[in-house]
Amino acid sequence: MKSKSRFLVPEDVSEADCIEMVASSIGTFAIIASKDGVRSIKPVDKFIPDNKPNHHTNSAASQLEMYFTGKSRQFDIKYDLSGHSEFSIRVWQELIKIPHGETISYAQLASRLGDPLCIRAAASANGRNPIPIIIPCHRVIGSDGSLTGFALGLDVKKKLLSLENPAKYAVIQTTLF
């Protein structure tokens, strides 16, 4: 059973999973993959599993490192989204279409899914995204432009948006030292 924890916990990993850690400017993440593709990405805190990589984790780690250093704006990895609802997968496929450095509102996401009334359902599926950053759920914001809801925390959402569009979302330093 998968945990609801923001950070990686033992219940998030099965014996069959392959795991690879990737360090970034916003923390260390565990990439978890099956033989079919990447299943999840979670920040690491207290539980640090041993690396057990496969070609899917290698590819995702390499592409994430390029993303965080500004050398790449797109991801090309294989996903394993088995066990998730068709609606959630439709939402995540729509998120992948949001261009790097751009944002849309939850209302726009619902409209793109063909049902402007499914805002809450789309927002809920957005929040359950198991592969944040690569499936860019951080690019969905409130209709008023506010940064709302992000499973990894609003501070991380702001950093990701700032990385992608520094002119619009620059993180302002409030102290000198």
Task: Catalogue the active-site residues.
Answer: 137
Q: Are 141 and 169 spatial neighbours (Cβ–Cβ below 8 Å)?
A: no
Q: Are 10 and 47 spatial neighbours (Cβ–Cβ below 8 Å)?
A: yes
- Beta-bridge partner residues of 140: 104
Q: Are 22 and 64 spatial neighbours (Cβ–Cβ below 8 Å)?
A: yes
Tokens in use for 137?
A: 């759920």
Helices (H), the chain: 55-68, 86-96, 106-112, 119-127, 154-164, 166-169
Rounded CA gap, 128 and 22, in Å? 21
Q: Are 19 and 60 spatial neighbours (Cβ–Cβ below 8 Å)?
A: no
Looking up tokens 């999973």 gives: 17
Residue 176 DSSP one-character state: -
